[in-house]
Amino acid sequence: MSRFADFGNALHSGRTSYPFVAKAKLWLTIAAVLVVLSALVPVAKGGFNLGIDFTGGSEFTVSAVPEADVATGERAVAESSDAAEAEVTNIAPETIRVRTEQLDDDETLAVKEALVSAYGVGEDDVTSNFVGPTWGAGVTSQALWGLVVFVVLATALMALYFRTWKMSVSAIAGMLATVAITAGVYSLVGFEVTPSAVIGFLTVLSYSLYDSVVVFDKVRENTEGLLEGTAPPERAGRTFSDQVNLAVNQTLVRSINTSVVGILPVGSILFIGWLVLGAGTLKDLSLALFVGIIVGTVATLFVASPLYALLRRSESAVRALEARVAAPGERAAEPAAAH
């Protein structure tokens, strides 16, 4: 069998073990730095590159252009409308995009016709799109609402399922770090923020929590009964953090496989969307997802899980267990404390 299976075997038995929990503070610091950097990227670049859905305006896309000359488009717009300025870009091979301030109906039709004749394409090759300035604000506030509702419900769901709010808090922290870093990368690449990208970010939220739930389920299993002293005997001599770390290591193969399987289809959309189509729903969505799946998986390992172990260490029962493990002689005298 493959070396990967050997790797899984070693992780399962504990022969190979990565210090996800032992170096918790290091990982959390790195994550915090990355989050801050991600917040600084859009600031340094002068804000996100917002699409017309958020800024308002008119947009025309001309496809199957035999000669993608930008000046042709600028002339066509100037001659057919009163638009103060037209931003004409060659966004992909054979594709021209024209952006103007918001035009009214008649002007939209006029510009469309002008573009058809200027580029010598068919009526069907020009699409137009205009968005009022308030539309994007509505979309954004709806998305934020969705975020708040989802976070509240997901926190409650996880707290109920795992019977501890500390897992909810850790998973949410991992999720927020994921979204912040994903947004930072998105801004760095300079892609436009479109409603599709917003969908992508919202999906990343869900994926990040999904991933944390899978790992935490194993954490819960490994730490079951540990503090109460009802754990199976082979767990004797293990601290709470040891068991959390073992769980993360044991699910590492799953985490890697899942993220690979997750990004393969997303990667192929990104590839096709970016290189072939040039712009649109597929590209924006898949970039957000591509980055988000990778960051989300990593954040579960390096943020959510270590944070959970740290949060639990503030409990007296967890510390008592650590003390017993460190000084085994006293153990017999002190049966399962706390709770």
| x-marked contacts with another protein along 124-163 as a string, rule CB under 8 A | xxxxxxxxx-xx--xx--xx-xx--xx--xx--xx--x--
Site for another protein (CB under 8 A): which residue of 23, 90, 176, 280? 280
Q: State in angstroms the smallest separation of the CB of 71 from another protein.
A: 23
Shortest distance (Å) from residue 228 CB to another protein:
8
Q: Which residues 223-242 are close enough to bind another protein by CB under 8 A?
A: 224-225, 229-234, 236-238, 242
Site stretch for another protein (CB under 8 A), options 25-33, 40-48, 79-87, 278-286:
278-286
Phi/psi for 114 (5° steps) reads: -60, -40
**Minimum distance of another protein from residue 50's CB (angstroms):** 15
CB-nearer residue toward another protein: 34 or 200: 200
Work out how close the CB of 209 gets to another protein at its nearest, in angstroms, rounded to a whole number: 5
190 binds another protein per the rule CB under 8 A: no
d(CA 328, CA 322): 10
Minimum distance of another protein from residue 55's CB (angstroms): 12
Binding part of the chain for another protein, among 29-37, 76-84, 209-217, 313-321 by CB under 8 A, reads 209-217
Binding residues among 46-85 for another protein as defined by CB under 8 A = 53, 61, 63-64
**Residue 240 main-chain phi, psi, to 5 deg:** -60, -45
176 binds another protein, rule: CB under 8 A:
no
Question: CB of 46: closest distance to another protein in angstroms?
Answer: 26
Nearer to another protein, 32 or 82 (CB): 82
DSSP element (H, E) containing 167:
helix 165-189
Residues 315-334 that bind another protein (CB under 8 A): 325-326, 328-329, 331-332
71 alpha-carbon distance from chain centroid: 38
Kindly indicate which of the ranges 35-43, 247-255, 302-310, 312-320 contains the residues binding another protein, using the contact rule CB under 8 A: 247-255
- Compute the least distance from the CB of residue 248 to another protein, in Å: 12
Only one of the segments 28-36, 41-49, 84-92, 200-208 lies at the binding site for another protein (rule: CB under 8 A); that segment is 200-208
44 versus 157: smaller Cβ distance to another protein: 157
Residue count, binding to another protein (CB under 8 A) = 114
Spatial distance between the Cα atoms of 201 and 190, rounded to a whole number of angstroms: 15
Do residues 268 and 176 touch, judged by C-beta distance below 8 A?
Answer: no
74 vs 217 by CB, closer to another protein = 217
Residue closer to another protein, measured from CB, 45 or 120: 120
Residues 82-121 that bind another protein (CB under 8 A): 105-106, 108-109, 112
Tokens 């709010």 belong to 165
